[in-house]
């Protein structure tokens, strides 16, 4: 009897250990700039990863007639190379999130993932403001995608933790005079002579249609959390810089995207690419805008930490400010200019925003979870610049200016 109970205990124990070690995660938009390195990072960490992607980002390259500065191989080839260099398998399922609801629901029911990482949204503010059709596309895609994911989790009746990549841009870029908290603001209201305190979602102040959809995402999350008890983590991410991670460096065919164009290129990557081809660094307006930044490797690590620290079933939506440092744009331009000798060109700001702002934000939760931030340093800047130099012949200088104005 004792031997039988001992064996039974060990079987249960080993099954629990295996469940912890091998957790299945769906990466929606796993072929994109953040999704691809995150997929490799989680696979390398022992997760069973399934990429769900309809290649809409690649189709946008065709529309804009511009490609990533780095050459991106077909996804099937990328996944074969990853299997060769890591011994780990990542599967791909082609579903258009926001349109093919039944296919998404069937995938959840059949695969029963531990978590879903939601990158499946149009991610560019300038692109969202190019025209009325781009505004409508961004709203239709982003809001439908988020609502379909939430509705599918509810209908599946599975306890799936949703991790969503949002943006610090939901807060706006004005000066608040205080540190922006992580999602929630303590307020006091006077009623019948009594002061009552409560916490509310930090008031959003989006500066583009793209940012507006991310602000609307917050309300969708709050509703599904309150009404259906969904466990949700919303990551308000800063501007991503860098290209490579420890996983994408393992083979040239695993290299990540490097967007430099006026619609999709992020500001620091654009500066480093411009420096690589001796193109004056384009600073919009006075360059007095402060922005929050995070390195692409820290994006991957933050996603993993969010997965591994889920909210309880009874918790409200967990909101984290996914950023590691704050810089003024003209200071970054001067840093790169001093380093490379390339000049700075101050051009009209296409956005309606304050010429100067101060930005302070809290990022305590990720630090408490164990994030050790990668900050701007000479070695990493050199690494990104070298990638830009290596592929500089692929740059179309006509695509550098930001032509979307709002």
> Where does the pLDDT of residue 78 fall: very low under 50, low under 70, confident under 90, or very high at 90 and above?
very high
Question: Cα(first)–Cα(last) distance of the chain, in Å?
Answer: 76
pLDDT of residue 358: 87
252 a catalytic residue = no
Judge whether residue 21 has pLDDT over 80. no
What's the average model confidence in pLDDT over 375-379? 88
214 a catalytic residue = yes
The residue count for the chain: 406
In this prediction the pTM is: 0.92
Q: Determine which one of 96, 167, 245, 266 is catalytic.
A: 167
pLDDT, tens only, 215-259: 999 999 999 999 999 999 999 999 999 999 999 999 999 999 999
> Where does the pLDDT of residue 393 fall: very low under 50, low under 70, confident under 90, or very high at 90 and above?
very high
pLDDT of residue 18: 44
pLDDT of residue 9: 54
Count of C-beta atoms within a 10 Å radius of residue 73: 15
Range with the poorest average pLDDT among 81-90, 213-222, 397-406: 397-406
Q: Across-strand partners of 239?
A: 293
Q: Determine which one of 114, 210, 224, 391 is catalytic.
A: 210
pLDDT of residue 331: 96
Domain extent listing, the chain:
9-399
Mean pLDDT of the chain: 93
Q: Determine which one of 130, 214, 318, 399 is catalytic.
A: 214
Judge whether residue 181 has pLDDT over 50. yes
9-399, CATH topology level: Rossmann fold (3.40.50)
pLDDT, tens only, 315-345: 999 999 999 999 999 999 999 999 999 999 9
What's the average model confidence in pLDDT over 286-294? 95
Q: Are 333 and 281 in contact (CB under 8 A)?
A: yes
282 a catalytic residue = no
pLDDT above 70 covers a percentage of the chain that reads 95
pLDDT of residue 14: 45
d(CA 378, CA 297): 16
Q: Are 186 and 197 in contact (CB under 8 A)?
A: yes
Tokens 């258009």 -> residue: 96
Locate 112 and state its tokens. Answer: 């029963």
Q: Are 31 and 51 in contact (CB under 8 A)?
A: yes
Count of C-beta atoms within a 10 Å radius of residue 216: 18
pLDDT, tens only, 215-227: 999 999 999 999 9
> Where does the pLDDT of residue 357 fall: very low under 50, low under 70, confident under 90, or very high at 90 and above?
confident
> Where does the pLDDT of residue 129 fall: very low under 50, low under 70, confident under 90, or very high at 90 and above?
very high
């Amino acid at each position: 009897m004792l031997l039988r109970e001992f064996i039974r205990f060990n079987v249960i124990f080993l099954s629990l250990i295996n469940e912890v070690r091998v957790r299945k995660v769906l990466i929606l938009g796993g072929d994109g700039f953040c999704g691809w390195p995150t997929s490799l990072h989680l696979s390398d960490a022992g997760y069973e990863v399934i990429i769900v992607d309809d290649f809409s980002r690649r189709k946008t390259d065709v529309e804009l007639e511009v490609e990533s500065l780095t050459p991106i191989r077909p996804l099937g080839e990328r996944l074969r190379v990853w299997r060769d260099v890591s011994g780990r398998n990542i599967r791909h399922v082609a579903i258009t999130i926001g349109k093919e609801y039944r296919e998404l629901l069937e995938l959840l029911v059949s695969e029963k993932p531990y978590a879903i990482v939601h990158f499946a949204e149009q991610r560019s503010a300038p692109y969202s403001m190019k025209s009325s059709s781009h505004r409508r596309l961004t709203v239709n895609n982003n809001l439908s995608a988020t609502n379909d994911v939430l509705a599918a989790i509810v209908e599946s009746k599975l306890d799936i933790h949703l991790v969503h990549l949002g943006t610090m841009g939901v807060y706006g870029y004005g000066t608040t005079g205080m540190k922006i908290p992580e999602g929630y603001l303590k307020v006091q209201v006077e009623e019948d002579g009594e002061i009552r305190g409560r916490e509310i979602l930090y008031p959003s102040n989006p500066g583009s249609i793209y940012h507006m959809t991310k602000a609307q995402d917050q309300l969708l999350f709050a509703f599904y959390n309150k009404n259906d008890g969904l466990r949700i983590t919303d990551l308000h991410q800063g501007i991503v810089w860098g290209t490579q991670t420890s996983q994408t460096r393992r083979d040239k065919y695993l290299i990540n995207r490097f967007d430099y164009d006026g619609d999709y290129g992020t500001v620091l990557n654009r500066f480093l690419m411009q420096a690589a081809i001796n193109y004056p660094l384009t600073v919009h307006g006075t360059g007095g805008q402060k922005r929050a930044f995070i390195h692409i490797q820290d994006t991957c690590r933050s996603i993993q930490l969010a997965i591994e620290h889920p909210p309880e079933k009874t918790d409200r939506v967990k909101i984290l400010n996914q950023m590691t440092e704050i810089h003024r744009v003209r200071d970054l331009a001067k840093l790169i200019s001093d380093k490379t000798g390339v000049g700075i060109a101050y051009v009209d700001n296409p956005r309606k925003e304050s010429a100067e702002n101060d930005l302070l934000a809290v990022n305590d939760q990720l630090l408490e979870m164990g994030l050790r931030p990668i900050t701007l340093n000479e070695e990493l800047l050199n690494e990104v610049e070298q990638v830009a130099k290596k592929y500089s012949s692929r740059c179309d200088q006509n695509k550098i200016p930001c032509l979307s104005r709002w």
